[in-house]
Homo-oligomer: A and B are copies of this chain.
Amino acid sequence: MRKIKKFSAPEPSMRRLPAYLHVLSRIFKENQTFVSCTTISRQLRLDPTQVRKDLALTGIVGKPRVGYPVEELIGNIKAFLGWDIQRNAVLVGVGSLGTAILGYQQFRLYGLNIIAAFDRDPAQIGRNIFGVNVYPIEKLPEIAVRHQIELGIITVNADSAQEVADLMIRGFIRGIWNFAPKPLEVPNEVVVENALLSVSLGVLTSKLKQIESNRTS
């Protein structure tokens, strides 16, 4: 039996790629056709070698002394992140965060095609939020199967998050983007990405705290 080597990209690299994309899209708008990794690294305060390694992951080939072709590089990064194809998605919980995500048109550029929203609250059912209809939560598995939904976005509170995840699993959803502060139990084949806003706030406030304590000591 041949050992199957599963390729898995380093997560730190994956997390830097979207930032490259933002820098590159501005460079593209300025009609530059080539860009060097030092140009990118300076804007993001990263090590140029690190940028080169990250870009190499996407399969891009640069020209010595010239740099990387901007348009092709943008395409490669998007393909690498899986943003080159549209994926149908549903969102559960049309509170303020859920509504914000429904309204964030940028996500379409990343292949996120939210085709339905769900909520437990009868007052929300039947609403149309930024062009997306709100259905009762019980309908999720049926609608997910019918529309071949790949992604589920959870923007309910922590207490309901697991039930919502279970409904998504019954609807054969393959990836869950979880904004609820609750670790989810899911089968192995389902991918969960937790997007805790508090993580980012914690990094900020703990750095501020460290600066304060370094100053006084």
Chain A residues packing against B (C-beta within 8 Å): 4, 6-9, 11, 14-15, 17-19, 22-23, 43-45, 80-83, 87, 95-97, 99-104, 106-107, 110-112, 150-151, 158, 174-175, 177, 181-183, 189, 191, 193-211, 213-214, 217
Contacts A183-B43, A207-B175, A208-B175; A201 near B107 (Cβ below 8 A) = yes
Contact of A198 among B18, B97, B99, B103 (CB under 8 A): B18
- Chain B residue nearest in CB terms to A200: B195
Q: Which residues of the partner chain B approach A201 to less than 8 Å between Cβ atoms?
A: 107, 110, 112, 177, 193
Name 17 interchain pairs, CB-CB below 8 A, sorted by A.
Answer: A4-B214, A7-B213, A18-B181, A18-B202, A19-B181, A22-B183, A45-B183, A81-B209, A82-B205, A87-B208, A106-B198, A110-B205, A151-B208, A191-B207, A193-B200, A193-B207, A195-B197
Is A204 within 8 A of B182, CB to CB?
no
Is A11 within 8 A of B87, CB to CB?
no
Top 8 closest pairs, chain A to chain B, by CB: A82-B205, A82-B209, A193-B204, A96-B100, A100-B100, A96-B103, A195-B200, A22-B181
Given contacts A15-B199, A112-B201, 20 further A-B contacts (CB under 8 A): A4-B214, A14-B206, A18-B198, A19-B181, A19-B196, A22-B182, A80-B209, A81-B206, A82-B209, A96-B100, A106-B181, A106-B198, A107-B198, A175-B205, A177-B204, A191-B204, A191-B208, A193-B207, A194-B200, A195-B197
Is A202 within 8 A of B110, CB to CB?
yes
Q: Which residues of the partner chain B approach A202 to less than 8 Å between Cβ atoms?
A: 14-15, 17-18, 81-83, 110
Count this chain's copies in the assembly.
2
Is B87 within 8 A of A96, CB to CB?
no
Is B208 within 8 A of A150, CB to CB?
yes
CB distance from A48 to the nearest CB of B (A): 15
Contact of A111 among B196, B205, B213 (CB under 8 A): B205
A205 to B80, CA, bound (A): 9
